[in-house]
Amino acid sequence: MAPLEAQESASPAPQPTIDQSTLTPRINVKGERELNFDWPMLKIGTGEYEEGPTGVTVFRFGRKVAGAVDVRGGAPGTVNSDFLNLGYQTPDLDAVVLSGGSWYGLESVTAVDSALKDDGERSGYWNNIGLSVGSIIYDFGDRRLNEIYPDKKLAQAAVRAAQPGLFPLGPHGAGSSAQTGGLFGCNAHSGQGGAFRQVGDVKIAAFTIVNALGVVVDRDGQVVACNKDSGWPEALKATDLVNGLPGSRKPGWTGVDKNGMRKNTTVSLVVTNVKMTPAELKRLAVQVHTSMARGIQPFSTAFDGDVLWAVSTAEVDPLEPGFASVDIATIAGEAMWDAILSSVPEQPFNQAVEGKPRKLSTADLKALAGEYRFSPIASLRISEEGGKLYGEATDRRAIFAIPAGEKRELVPDARGFVVPGRYPMRLTFASDGTLVINPGPWEQRAMRNASQGN
Amino acid sequence: MAPLEAQESASPAPQPTIDQSTLTPRINVKGERELNFDWPMLKIGTGEYEEGPTGVTVFRFGRKVAGAVDVRGGAPGTVNSDFLNLGYQTPDLDAVVLSGGSWYGLESVTAVDSALKDDGERSGYWNNIGLSVGSIIYDFGDRRLNEIYPDKKLAQAAVRAAQPGLFPLGPHGAGSSAQTGGLFGCNAHSGQGGAFRQVGDVKIAAFTIVNALGVVVDRDGQVVACNKDSGWPEALKATDLVNGLPGSRKPGWTGVDKNGMRKNTTVSLVVTNVKMTPAELKRLAVQVHTSMARGIQPFSTAFDGDVLWAVSTAEVDPLEPGFASVDIATIAGEAMWDAILSSVPEQPFNQAVEGKPRKLSTADLKALAGEYRFSPIASLRISEEGGKLYGEATDRRAIFAIPAGEKRELVPDARGFVVPGRYPMRLTFASDGTLVINPGPWEQRAMRNASQGN
Amino acid sequence: MAPLEAQESASPAPQPTIDQSTLTPRINVKGERELNFDWPMLKIGTGEYEEGPTGVTVFRFGRKVAGAVDVRGGAPGTVNSDFLNLGYQTPDLDAVVLSGGSWYGLESVTAVDSALKDDGERSGYWNNIGLSVGSIIYDFGDRRLNEIYPDKKLAQAAVRAAQPGLFPLGPHGAGSSAQTGGLFGCNAHSGQGGAFRQVGDVKIAAFTIVNALGVVVDRDGQVVACNKDSGWPEALKATDLVNGLPGSRKPGWTGVDKNGMRKNTTVSLVVTNVKMTPAELKRLAVQVHTSMARGIQPFSTAFDGDVLWAVSTAEVDPLEPGFASVDIATIAGEAMWDAILSSVPEQPFNQAVEGKPRKLSTADLKALAGEYRFSPIASLRISEEGGKLYGEATDRRAIFAIPAGEKRELVPDARGFVVPGRYPMRLTFASDGTLVINPGPWEQRAMRNASQGN
Amino acid sequence: MAPLEAQESASPAPQPTIDQSTLTPRINVKGERELNFDWPMLKIGTGEYEEGPTGVTVFRFGRKVAGAVDVRGGAPGTVNSDFLNLGYQTPDLDAVVLSGGSWYGLESVTAVDSALKDDGERSGYWNNIGLSVGSIIYDFGDRRLNEIYPDKKLAQAAVRAAQPGLFPLGPHGAGSSAQTGGLFGCNAHSGQGGAFRQVGDVKIAAFTIVNALGVVVDRDGQVVACNKDSGWPEALKATDLVNGLPGSRKPGWTGVDKNGMRKNTTVSLVVTNVKMTPAELKRLAVQVHTSMARGIQPFSTAFDGDVLWAVSTAEVDPLEPGFASVDIATIAGEAMWDAILSSVPEQPFNQAVEGKPRKLSTADLKALAGEYRFSPIASLRISEEGGKLYGEATDRRAIFAIPAGEKRELVPDARGFVVPGRYPMRLTFASDGTLVINPGPWEQRAMRNASQGN
């Protein structure tokens, strides 16, 4: 076999990036679960690049609406929050855009404005300019093996397909690669959540992309999703995790590292049909955002970049007797807790080896060997040695549990191969040279380098 | 009888206010419960006017320290928050002052600065000016029958008596007349809470004056203190109350009314000995303040004026390995929840009639009749009619459950008289003409007008 | 001649927008005047679509730098200002982008991030994400006859061509269609300005896109550029204009109308090589931004959306003795005044009829008649009547001084045609059917509808 | 003569502070110049302690009004700014208080609230609580020899004496010991300024306590007041001073030192009778505050703590046609420039020796010798040596130009003694043992220690 080095130098240099023009937007994908509600004034479009997976969720209103924002840091990514903070009394807002892709994903926000202009709905005339606001989550890093981000094409397709009454729950739209619980090494899969409440004429909808450093917590104080460390109890209260700090973060855990800022962020939206003054709408934003500290613990840390947008469609005015704006905000906070809980998807396959370890021949294993590239930034070298199969990351510090510069055994089981450990890692090889890690909603696909054989 | 009556009726209208120079500060009153901890750098003084009751809690540091603030509204009262927000890198702060008395109580904050100057600890030289910051709660209104507020005399006595290691819990200092749960008509007595945690060298203390529109909630989601409406279950979850909005607010409840802003506010302080940059300290303030939404539900409403101060004494630098500033903030948030829970005092006597109704003679009852004045703004007329005793508020809309312009029966029982209803209201008459409403920590005292007899 | 109606219905409906993919970026166009300076760490790229004209100015730094922002409203358009405000202590900023195109132009900001990623300079790894910030000016409305905005293609070309030491002054980059003085009806052409100062090792550069509702004022208080109303003196002091408010705004002036918000905005950048703490850098931003009220009067009105970014490249640390950070800020403010003054271009041709009115035959005039389209949103109908040439706007309220629904005479002179009035309006017809309004840097071009003949 | 040491040890230790209860408020002192205007809704009271001199200026409105604030730092001292920033829509404000005394002077602000309560105008009822806001200037340090600050007694006397239509200009109220120009060593005396404009029904008043690090500048760019360094030209432009930075700050100048923060601050108020939304009022504050950078250069530095309050009395609604809120703000900015200029008092006596140096006998000089105490913090030792009189500061680093630990000659002239130098310093001795430094509005008085004679 030719020396590996030569082979590598023969192959083209890794492209620094994927050409996103080759990607196909998937719009309003039907999720496993969805929220249905009746509110014509509020339309939602979701766009996804499943190669990420990453995506965008666009909220479009039936007319210019009033908006407010509560930015709580630590490391937010925002477009046009200042305009809302400086508070004209007029309704100016067209859309709220929540997106993956970290700061790159902010392209989704500006894209919606230009779509509205190109479609003739908005123009350059001073009182008809498109105004979208938006914010992003960090969904790169260890959680996926590429740097695809939601872009103009995706966001424009999403806003143009926006429809009322339907919101996919779980790993969709901006929440496609969301995770939670990194502070404790939970690294649970997460997603987007939504809830709707109607009391009399009052409508309230809450939406959130839960991608927090903290864990999702239910109304009994239980942690809802976590890849638990060995020895952790089945029923895990958030308060127990916190009480273990910093001790619950055992050596070797893959969660936050001391300098690991900006790996999280939860972005949210609350909408009501009640007409509100700018001051009331700002209060709604503050109170609801604050209330989220119940469903996500801890919330709004320095390593999150949390942002909540609040919108009033002003369809109900005045409030019916007995209602005060504080009631709206309190009910909305409760709806937001529902939304947080609804964001949690079914966690993937157990990481345990399934069934008896399969017995594979050396030839079978050798046939799988080769260099598998996931994207310009991630590649895995599979090799056989002594009748066992090994993986080794080659151009980034780790492919999930498989580090660079070190071989890690892939244990065969009934459905493929597993790398045992705290986090699920399953590999399946297809006959066409495709390697899939963690088949399912968050799967990562690689192709074996064609020039490599055996 | 001497012509006193004539003189008095000729005498001028009631003074609009009490002369506070006649009040005696009560300093560092030993409470029923207290928090003890070991931290020489942090000294605490509490001052109370039991005639209010109202008071002030002063936190004084062993040297100039770094401070940050998170003001979350709706209607805060603050001194020198702007200075902290604009963020020099130098430690400038001397003291944090939490006070009752609404905006009038801010006099307590400025008083601490002048005490430090008068004592020669601070001066007018630019790098040695006394800098206190502080905020207040609203503790007037229906909850007490006077408008006494914590003033310069009280605050200066408190700061001069500040001592390390001891913090009274419950209705003391700034929390003397705190209440919670007005949103649901709970109107429970509240107070000041504190908690201390030490992990390795790291010290964290959390203090709070819980005077929220919302209710205090424990880690199982249960409401900790509430004067429940008839028919409410014994075990009451916060989420159930919220789900009843606005319906849980029955007709006649005494909680928030639509225009009833500014009746609440929770003010808090978190202190750590870890050295922090201004950005980190601000994040500590934001994260801990946000976390309080778990222990108080709802939190930071438009009708609160919540403020949290954060202080670093910079005794530990750098943090020990494994710790990040987010850990400090997360632990501090948990300590703050403990502090919130510790603020709740034993709620007073049951409002029910105790034992069999006493049988009192008409003469006995007549002997109690007269005009009882609590303060220049509150007076109660007691009269006998048909063998029953009645009360009627005379110069404000109500004395607790007794309205103006309407007689309400006082039912005699084993220990005095009771006005039955959702809220405790007990009256005891002493032979010297004193009337005490709700004897105990929150008692309100009146003297019978001397000119009135028979 | 065929019936106009039929022709119109035969021609396609006006496109709502121009397809910007057909436009060609013009990068680093050599201006009439430019600022030259020596500072390798600071690179500048300008991109322009001359069809607008509109453009973008990108400032790229040699490494991650520290940034701060002062947003002063009224109606700003910003990307990622929140991140800078929340103040980590680490340098994270890659580029500052100033752009035309109102909120649509924010696409320029997000475009720079993705260019850096695509070029392999930045990635998705948490400590290497591209971070651009930016803000925009409003340059649509009455000032140009199309809605072209600076887009991803333009901004990416500009950042990739960024070079040190050179900054074009006047109507270039983001300042291509800037104007000033609308408050008084001045509507003077404006542009981008820059200035550089070096004191010892300290370098300070100031840049600004001057598009203010107010007027530019020199150090003697004189207005630098204004289309003066009839009867206004040659030497015009800003204070005289203000003293005339609201009277100086005569009936019929084209400046601000009561509802005419968001038609302006000045966006700026100050850069120093001095290392600064976040607090110092914020102070630099605040002080310099405030100082601009001298060179632009009034400044930061409700109808502007002013934003100033401040950057420290941290090349000089510590400051040499005798220097304090306040000196840096004061010098920078003076540099910014220079920058403001340098933004003013030579104002165009006099509006007066030049030479004797030309005498043109009716046939000559008829040959010019027809429908001239500038863009999907602007079209001008030229007709001959009684030996005179007339214009009439057809699908927007006005083509500069020519209103819709009303014919306005075009007066022939030595160089073409003129519409006399306060503001320059000159028309030249070319033999190929092209109509040019105001030939020169701000010219607007139309083609005669092919189907129309004579 | 008994050994000085013994005498000193016999005398009591210097009191750390002056007992302010011995001071007599001087209320609404008639100034040399005053602003008169017609506006019943706006009342002004000034209080002064001439022993400082220092004082307070209270603005009281005829009813609850709407307020906004623009805090621009660097080191502000404020009360209740947060409440205004969080923006209810209701008018809640009672008074704006501007005060000397640095953070100690904030006692003046809280004092006004309690005065209103004690006078029965405000109470503890939630919708009738007194709300004063306010901010302070730094007027200690080298500028006066005591640490007297405006206190509760002074502020309450001032608010109770508040009257419409009259505002003393120059060194009065909060401006009693204001100075400007420290950045360039100008150290000019300053004061409070005011201006009033009426356009149609619209009333606008602007008030400011000018105590800036920068210099006051007129509409031609000239510096209005400065103790010029030797060699500086008579006509001094602000731009020339700035261009000399840091060189214009010669060795030995007494202006800002590198660590000399918090020595300045300009606090201001703009009032209009036009009804404004919270957003408009905030814009008024921002625009007018920004505009002050013309009249004070530089403005809003890190070493200032500038704050501007804006108030609407809501007497005019709606605005008459032709007026927009931006006009109000622009006119108000111009009024504020007038106010700044009006703050500058006649600068004191020339520092030059007047007439021929007087010839005094050694006995005459010896008779003046002794220890003169200005306050617990400042004392001057006068001694005779070789037929000349000398001064030496004894318990602080300097008494104006006379340092501690070093004798400085007092040159006799026609009117007393002079210490030549950049800054005026004249000493006059009275037969009763009184020493007056700089007789006039800013004079500092000391008494000779009784135990000392010879």
DSSP track, C324-342: -HHHHHHHHHHHHHHHHHH
* Separation CA A133–CA A112 (nearest Å): 9
Residue A287: phi, psi to the nearest 5?
-65, -45
Which residue has better confidence, D86 or B66? B66
3-state secondary structure D244-301: CCCCCCCCCCCCCCCCCCCCCCCEEEEEEEECCCHHHHHHHHHHHHHHCCCCEECCCC
pLDDT of B15 higher than 60: no
Q: What is the mean pLDDT of residues C247-271?
A: 65
Whether A348 and chain C come into contact, CB under 8 Å, resolves to no
Binned at pLDDT 50, 70 and 90, residue C125 comes out as: confident
Q: What is the mean pLDDT of residues A92-102?
A: 97
Residues of A in contact with C259 (CB under 8 A): 127
Instruction: Give per-residue pLDDT as tens, B331-373.
Output: 999 999 999 999 999 998 656 777 777 889 999 999 999 999 9
Neighbours of chain D (3+ CB pairs under 8 A): A, B, C
Q: What is the mean pLDDT of residues C175-180?
A: 97
pLDDT of B13 higher than 70: no
CA-nearest of D184, D110, D176, D183 to D137 is D176
A331: number of CA atoms within 13 Å, CB side?
24
| Mean residue pLDDT across chain B | 90
Whether D445 and chain B come into contact, CB under 8 Å, resolves to no
* Separation CA D33–CA B303 (nearest Å): 46
Binned at pLDDT 50, 70 and 90, residue C250 comes out as: low
Which residue has better confidence, C228 or A263? C228
- Between B31-45, C20-34, D8-22, the lowest mean confidence (pLDDT) is in D8-22
CA distance B371 to chain D (A): 22
At residue C229, the pLDDT reads 85
Report the helix count and the strand count for chain C, using DSSP H and E: 8, 27
Express as a percent the part of chain B with pLDDT over 70: 91
3-state secondary structure chain A: CCCHHHHHHHCCCCCCCCCHHHCCCEECCCCCEEEECCCCCEEEEEEEECCCCEEEEEEEEEEEEEEEEEEEEECCCEECHHHHHHCCCCCCEEEEEEECCHHHHHHHHHHHHHHHHHCCCCCCCCCCCCCEEEEECCCCHHHCCCCCCCCHHHHHHHHHCCEECEEEEECCHHHCCCEECHHHCCCEECCEEEEEEEECCEEEEEEEECCCCCEEECCCCEECCCCCCCCCCCCCEHHHHHHCCCCCCCCCCCCCCCCCCCCCCCEEEEEEEECCCHHHHHHHHHHHHHHCCCCEECCCCCCCEEEEEEEEEEEECCCCCCCCHHHHHHHHHHHHHHHHHHCCCCCCCCCCCCCCCCCCCHHHHHHHCEEEEEECCEEEEEEEECCEEEEEECCCCEECCEEECCCEEEEEECCEEECCCCCCCEEEECCCCEEEECCCCCCEEEEECCCCCC
Whether D301 and chain B come into contact, CB under 8 Å, resolves to no
CA torsion angle for B299, B301, B305, B308 (degrees, to 10)? 30
Instruction: Give per-residue pLDDT as tens, A303-327.
Output: 999 999 999 999 999 887 778 889 9
Neighbours of chain B (3+ CB pairs under 8 A): A, C, D
Instruction: Give per-residue pLDDT as tens, D328-369.
Output: 999 999 999 999 999 999 998 666 777 777 889 999 999 999
Do β-strands D305-316 and A370-375 pair in parallel, antiparallel, or remain unpaired?
unpaired
Distance of CA A241 to the CA centre of its chain: 23
Q: Are C324 and D256 in contact (CB under 8 A)?
A: yes
pLDDT of A13 higher than 50: no
Express as a percent the part of chain D with pLDDT over 90: 75
Q: What is the mean pLDDT of residues D267-292?
A: 96
| Interchain contact, D79 vs B106, CB within 8 Å | yes
The SS3 call for residue B411 is strand
Which residue has better confidence, D320 or B346? B346
Cα distances (angstroms) measured from residue A453 to each of A10, A367, A447, B312 = 14, 8, 13, 62
Q: Are C130 and C116 in contact (CB under 8 A)?
A: yes
Residue D189: beta bridge partners?
A: D179
Tokens of A14: 């890794």
Q: Are C430 and C412 in contact (CB under 8 A)?
A: no
Residue of D nearest to B141 (CA): D125
| Mean residue pLDDT across chain A | 90
Instruction: Give per-residue pLDDT as tens, A38-67.
Output: 999 999 999 999 999 999 999 999 999 999
pLDDT of C264 higher than 50: yes
Residue D412 backbone class (left: φ over 0; alpha: ψ -120 to 50; beta: rest): beta
Residue of B nearest to A301 (CA): B287
Tokens of A446: 């690689």
Q: What is the mean pLDDT of residues B48-68?
A: 97
* Separation CA D326–CA A44 (nearest Å): 38
Residues of B in contact with A181 (CB under 8 A): none
At residue D234, the pLDDT reads 87
Residue A89 backbone class (left: φ over 0; alpha: ψ -120 to 50; beta: rest): alpha
**Sign, Cα dihedral of A410, A415, A421, A422:** positive
D265 is a catalytic site residue:
yes
Q: Name D332's Cβ contacts closer than 8 Å, sequence gap at least 6.
A: D197, D204, D206, D270, D272, D284, D287, D288
Binned at pLDDT 50, 70 and 90, residue C261 comes out as: very low
| Mean residue pLDDT across chain C | 90
Binned at pLDDT 50, 70 and 90, residue C74 comes out as: confident
Residue B25: phi, psi to the nearest 5?
-65, 135
Residues of chain A numbered 258-287 and touching chain D (CB < 8 Å): 277-279, 282
* Separation CA A211–CA A194 (nearest Å): 14
| Chain C interface test: which of A54, A94, A109, A110 (most C C-beta within 10 Å) | A110
* Separation CA D127–CA D388 (nearest Å): 68
Instruction: Give per-residue pLDDT as tens, D111-141.
Output: 999 999 999 999 998 889 999 999 999 999 8
At residue B257, the pLDDT reads 47
* Separation CA C145–CA C400 (nearest Å): 9
- In a 10 Å sphere around its CB, with 0-12 CB exposed, 13-18 middle and 19+ buried, how is residue C78 labelled? buried
At residue A248, the pLDDT reads 62
pLDDT of D16 higher than 90: no
Residue B170: phi, psi to the nearest 5?
95, -150
Binned at pLDDT 50, 70 and 90, residue B237 comes out as: very high
Q: Highest mean pLDDT: which of A3-17, C18-32, C438-452?
A: C18-32
Instruction: Give per-residue pLDDT as tens, A323-334.
Output: 888 999 999 999
Task: Outline where D343-390 has alpha helix (H).
Answer: 362-368
DSSP secondary structure letters along C194-243: EEEEEETTEEEEEEEE---SSEEB-TTSBB----PPTT--SS-BHHHHHH
At residue D197, the pLDDT reads 97
At residue C414, the pLDDT reads 85
* CB environment A223-252: b (16+ within 10 A), e (fewer): bbbbbbbeebeeebbbbebbeebbebbeee
| Mean residue pLDDT across chain D | 90
Q: Are C325 and C276 in contact (CB under 8 A)?
A: yes
Q: What is the mean pLDDT of residues B18-36?
A: 95
| Interchain contact, B73 vs D81, CB within 8 Å | no
Which residue has better confidence, B234 or C24? C24
Instruction: Give per-residue pLDDT as tens, A396-412.
Output: 888 999 999 999 999 99
10 Å Cβ neighbour count for B226?
A: 20
Place of tokens 């066409």: A432
At residue B318, the pLDDT reads 84
Q: Are D436 and D368 in contact (CB under 8 A)?
A: no
Q: What is the mean pLDDT of residues A123-146?
A: 93
| Interchain contact, B86 vs C277, CB within 8 Å | no
Q: Of B180, B265, B266, B313, which is the active-site residue? A: B265
Which residue has better confidence, B249 or B278? B278
Instruction: Give per-residue pLDDT as tens, B382-431.
Output: 999 999 999 999 978 889 999 999 999 999 998 899 998 888 899 999 99
Residues of A in contact with B195 (CB under 8 A): none
Q: What is the mean pLDDT of residues A207-228?
A: 96
* Separation CA A157–CA A154 (nearest Å): 5
At residue C234, the pLDDT reads 87
Q: What is the mean pLDDT of residues B199-226?
A: 96
CA-nearest of D296, D256, D242 to D72 is D296
Nearest residue, CB atoms, C16 vs list A102, A107, A120: A120
pTM: 0.95
Whether D330 and chain C come into contact, CB under 8 Å, resolves to yes
Which residue has better confidence, D414 or C290? C290
Binned at pLDDT 50, 70 and 90, residue D385 comes out as: very high
| Interchain contact, B278 vs C87, CB within 8 Å | yes
At residue C238, the pLDDT reads 92
